[in-house]
């Protein structure tokens, strides 16, 4: 028999290599709702790794809205939006998000990954130039590769590096950046990026998945927090699976951009719409996000408490004032050991390793939510102290 017919494409070797490099990933089977105290395999843990920043994923009003929506509109979307899958709740949510963000129009998609693919592949093609922050989310990078556009990556938040790349850019120019960088928790310098975009006749696109709902007095995200608007940031991408506690994503832009996505964005055209009940539940999340401002205030206080305690312990924190609080360890094996020690103490944090982050920057990625309490943050800090994670620890 031809040996090529019995090949497993080198999968055994690939998986073994990943294990040997301490980069193997495994899923945890959660047996409870998304909340600070969760159950896995019959054991209770205090979790600090969810992106449910405002604590809405298990909110009774959101749950009730999902149930009501399912009773009224059913469960499945049935077809793509352009066939017969665009239901009234989808339309209502798009209108509400457009009003909230201040953009002309909003388009719903099934995930943030798909939203980024939709925007970049529909707007750019061969001969155009996409300029990327080096620490952008993988979905933005993949979208650039699929678009066929010239692909240039500027140094992280480095406007001088971006300026050099812009000087060599051709065709339509799109600057794409995360708003809050998901692994570091730091913020994109939108005023500087917007000024460079304007000076070079480029557009600015911000993926604010981790900032929307959290930042800004009204929860409008980094664009609001940094005093920007639709004239500065032409394309805003937000997700519903984080601060909203539901699922899906949206693109906010001009009417012309949104209509272009409807006509040409393959991830939108060829995907069954998300459940209408989910859109109906997201309307309740939007209402809570606007009315219950105490959630952002609570989150801000917890971040301050954690950072003060972590700095007192000598932990190697990054400069982040967002709910994303990474502790840099460096070595992947050591990071896994520390995460395991915390798990044994009943504390869950994410051990993030390459290729998700650059080599030698493996970290414990701690995320705080408005559903956490001050006492729970103290428990986390005590557990970190007992693991001897201080700066002088070998």
Mean pLDDT of 320-326: 96
Write down the catalytic residue from 210, 282, 332, 372: 210
CB contact at 8 A, 187 and 222: yes
* Domains of the chain, residue spans: 29-54+293-386, 60-291
pTM for the full predicted model: 0.93
Q: E strand or H helix at 274, and its extent?
A: none
Band of the pLDDT at 1, cuts 50, 70, 90? Answer: very low
CA-based nearest residue to 77, from 69, 87, 64: 87
C-alpha pair distances (Å), 297 with each of 1, 215, 366, 371: 67, 10, 19, 12
How large a percentage of the chain has pLDDT more than 70? Answer: 97
Tell me what the pLDDT averaged over the chain comes to.
94
Catalytic-residue membership of 217: no
CA angle (194 as vertex; 190, 195 as ends), nearest 5: 120
4-47: pLDDT as tens digits: 555 788 999 999 998 998 878 888 888 999 999 999 999 999 99
Mean pLDDT of 250-258: 98
Catalytic-residue membership of 156: no
Distance CA 135, CA 176 (A): 11
What's residue 389's pLDDT?
Answer: 62
* Residue pointed to by tokens 């709702």: 33
Catalytic-residue membership of 254: no
Distance CA 355, CA 382 (A): 30
184-218: pLDDT as tens digits: 999 999 999 999 999 999 999 999 999 999 999 99
What's residue 24's pLDDT?
Answer: 86
66-100: pLDDT as tens digits: 999 999 999 999 999 999 999 999 999 999 999 99
- Provide the greatest CA pair distance for the chain: 68
CA-based nearest residue to 305, from 377, 376, 369: 377
Provide CB contacts within 8 A for 139, sequence distance 6+.
Answer: 112, 113, 116, 117, 207
pLDDT at 393 over 60: no
Tell me if the bond preceding 355 is cis, omega within 30° of 0.
yes
Residue 99 CB-density burial (10 A; 0-12 exposed, 13-18 middle, 19+ buried): exposed
Distance CA 343, CA 351 (A): 11
Distance CA 291, CA 288 (A): 5
> Who has greater pLDDT, 318 or 393?
318
Band of the pLDDT at 391, cuts 50, 70, 90? Answer: very low
Mean pLDDT of 171-193: 97
CA-based nearest residue to 251, from 264, 267, 235, 265: 235
| Domain 29-54+293-386 listed as CATH 3.90.1150.10 | yes
Write down the catalytic residue from 87, 182, 243, 332: 182
Write down the catalytic residue from 50, 242, 273, 274: 242
What's residue 5's pLDDT?
Answer: 53
Band of the pLDDT at 285, cuts 50, 70, 90? Answer: very high
C-alpha pair distances (Å), 349 with each of 89, 216, 323: 35, 26, 13
105-109 and 173-178 strand pairing: unpaired
Which tokens in the block code for residue 144? 């650039």
Class of domain 60-291: alpha beta
pLDDT at 394 over 50: no
Mean pLDDT of 332-340: 93
Distance CA 341, CA 219 (A): 36
46-63: pLDDT as tens digits: 999 999 999 999 999 999
What's residue 6's pLDDT?
Answer: 56
């Amino acid at each position: 028999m031809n040996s090529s017919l019995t090949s497993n494409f080198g999968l055994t070797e690939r998986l073994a290599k990943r294990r040997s490099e301490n980069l193997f990933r495994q899923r945890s089977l959660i047996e409870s709702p998304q909340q600070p105290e969760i159950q896995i395999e019959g054991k209770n843990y205090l979790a600090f790794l969810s992106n449910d920043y405002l604590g809405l994923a298990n909110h009774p009003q959101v749950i009730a809205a999902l149930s009501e929506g399912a009773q009224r509109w059913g469960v499945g979307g049935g077809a793509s939006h352009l066939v017969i899958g665009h239901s009234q709740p989808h339309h209502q949510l798009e209108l509400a998000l457009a009003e909230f963000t201040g953009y002309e129009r909003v388009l719903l998609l099934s995930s943030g990954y798909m939203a980024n693919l939709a925007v970049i592949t529909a707007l750019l093609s061969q001969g155009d130039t996409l300029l990327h922050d080096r620490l952008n989310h993988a979905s933005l990078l993949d979208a650039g590769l699929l678009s066929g556009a010239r692909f240039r990556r500027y140094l992280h938040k480095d406007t001088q590096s971006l300026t050099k790349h812009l000087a060599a850019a051709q065709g339509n120019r799109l600057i794409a950046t995360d708003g809050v960088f998901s692994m570091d928790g730091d913020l994109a310098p939108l005023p500087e990026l917007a000024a460079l975009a304007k000076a070079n006749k480029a557009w600015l696109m911000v993926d604010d998945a981790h900032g929307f709902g959290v930042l800004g007095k009204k929860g409008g995200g980094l664009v609001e927090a940094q005093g920007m608007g639709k004239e500065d940031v032409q394309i805003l991408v937000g997700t519903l699976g984080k601060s909203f506690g539901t699922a899906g994503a949206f693109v906010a832009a001009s009417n012309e951009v949104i209509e272009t996505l409807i006509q040409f964005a393959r991830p939108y055209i060829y995907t069954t719409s998300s459940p209408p009940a989910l859109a109906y539940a997201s309307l309740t999340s939007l209402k809570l996000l606007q009315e219950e401002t105490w959630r952002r205030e609570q989150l801000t206080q917890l971040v301050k408490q954690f950072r003060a305690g972590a700095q007192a312990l000598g932990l190697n924190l990054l400069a982040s004032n967002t709910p994303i609080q990474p502790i840099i360890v460096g070595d992947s094996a050591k990071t896994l050991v520390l995460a395991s020690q915390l798990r044994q103490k009943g504390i869950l944090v994410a051990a993030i390793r390459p290729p998700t982050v650059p080599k030698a920057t493996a970290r414990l990625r701690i995320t705080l939510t408005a559903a956490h309490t001050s006492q729970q943050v103290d428990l986390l800090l005590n557990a970190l102290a007992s693991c001897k994670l201080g700066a002088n620890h070998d």
